[in-house]
A = this chain, B = another copy of it.
Amino acid sequence: MDLNKFFKAKNIAIVGVSKDPNKIGYNIFRNLVEGNFQGNLFLVNPNAYQILNKKVYKSLNDINEEIELAVIAVPNKLVPSILKNCGKKKIQNVVIISSGFSESGNEKLENEVKSLLEKFKINCIGVNALGVYDAYSRLDTLFLPRYRLKRPKQGGIAFVSQSGAIGTAILDLITTQNYGISKFISYGNATNVDESDILEYLGEDKETKVICLYLQGLRDGQKFIKVAKKVGRNKPIVVLKGGITQETSKIVYSHTASLAGSYEVYSAAFKQCNMIQADSLQEMFNIARALEKTIPNKGERIQIITNGGGYGILSIDAIIKNNLKVAELDKKNIASLKKQLHNLVTLNNLIDLSSNATSNDYKIAIENCLNDNNVDVILLNILYQNPLIDSSILDIITEFNNLKKKPILVVSTGGEFTDNLRKSLEENNVVTFTYPEEAVRSIKALTDYYSKK
């Protein structure tokens, strides 16, 4: 199934656009304009002439140009007639925002929609969907106003969410934290395009390096496993399953009209496809960031370099809890470090540079670890509160990271000053975390994925 036009269409019709700023259609149009979408927009509404200085067509069939994608935001009962118009106009891709189908008990109307989609060979994201956002083409069908829901910059993570609410909330959070994404898809009831179709498309998408999937249920388990296995061989897929308890699986069933099932069954399927299972939205996002930015790695021996002993201890606790290993430095390397680093507190598998550490001490320590064959991954704890750490640390880490020799991850907890340094590192493709546990969990996902690949 070719989903490319859902993200790269140049000629888009918005059906059900309205003059009322509280209406969904108005907001979709406005967001596309404000977001500097570079294609052509065609507005359709039988009861309007002009909206925001733009001509309004009475019907899709009044448009002369070819329409690659129609975004439909009309009352549920009008959807079938709009689809018939799409059929006549030979529109092959539609996003149906309208709700009021199987998710609220109206199976009959959804079946009617499904039949029409099949009849006219239309690919549909929806019904009951938010649709898509593409950070590269700026194609954006989300009706939430941009002042409330910011849109993220370009990056390599694709977010696919059955739930619109979860998708938008995470999208918003990502933007504020200055991270980027490739594509966002909230597919609602999956009336004909489902999670497997989207996964397959993203597997081939060059803008997407890592796929995040929030899943409540599946339409077709066998299809999903087949696709996820194939895609998982090329790209990491991080999955968060909602509705993992008996109490929630019955709600899942009604919520987006998909099949629920016991979590054990899902979990086994995810493992089989080498998908990474996250326990929370936060974890999903952290793991995805690490997978996007660090180099492939199977090794599980982690060397910690810190200027705060307590942070080193929490990091090692996390390493052991995650069944990873604390690296044991080569003896020659230990001797060399002891000579070069006069502040070194202890070397019990921990390079603790002490609170007197300078940026240059980090440089010496990182360089030694990059050259030590007993080290697979370098985990830096840096407390920028200490004035001896100057901004040269940013260049030091960035340069070592650019060598792409071993994964380097940075943990720094703090306020505004820390946050600015963190953002600088992120802009230079260094992956950073607030807490040691988050970084170590992400390393675990990294080594698990690549050692099973």
Contacts and interface: CB of A to CB of B under 8 A. Distances in A.
B415 A175 contact: yes
A165 interface: yes
Interface stretch (A119-127, A242-250, A267-275): A242-250
Nearest to A27: B387
A288 to B, nearest CB: 15
B282 A435 contact: yes
B417 A147 contact: yes
A104 interface: yes
A164 B355 contact: yes
A149 B250 CA distance: 49
A385 interface: yes
Contact of A309 (B255, B317, B326): B255
Interface string A239-261: 00011111110111011100000
Contacts of A254: 346, 348
A98 interface: no
A166 B385 contact: no
Given A104-B345, A149-B414, A309-B255, A144 B248 contact: no
Nearest to A345: B104
B166 A255 contact: no
Interface string A313-325: 1101101110000
Given A173-B434, A245-B317, A251 B348 contact: yes
Contacts of A384: 148
Contacts of A349: 247, 251
A145 interface: yes
A383 B170 CA distance: 11
A257 to B, nearest CB: 12
Interface string A138-161: 000000110111100000000001
Interface string A276-289: 00011110000000
A27 B388 CA distance: 13
Interface residues of A, number: 81
A10 B47 CA distance: 75
Contacts of A251: 309, 312-313, 316, 346, 348-350
A53 interface: no
Most buried by B among A244, A279, A306, A414: A414
A169 interface: yes
A387 B148 contact: yes
Contacts of A352: 255
A386 B316 CA distance: 42
Given A248-B320, A251-B348, A320-B248, A314 B414 contact: no
A245 B316 contact: yes
A316 B248 contact: yes
A247 B326 contact: yes
B416 A176 contact: yes
B414 A308 contact: no
A247 B435 contact: no
Nearest to A174: B415
Interface string A406-421: 0000001111111100
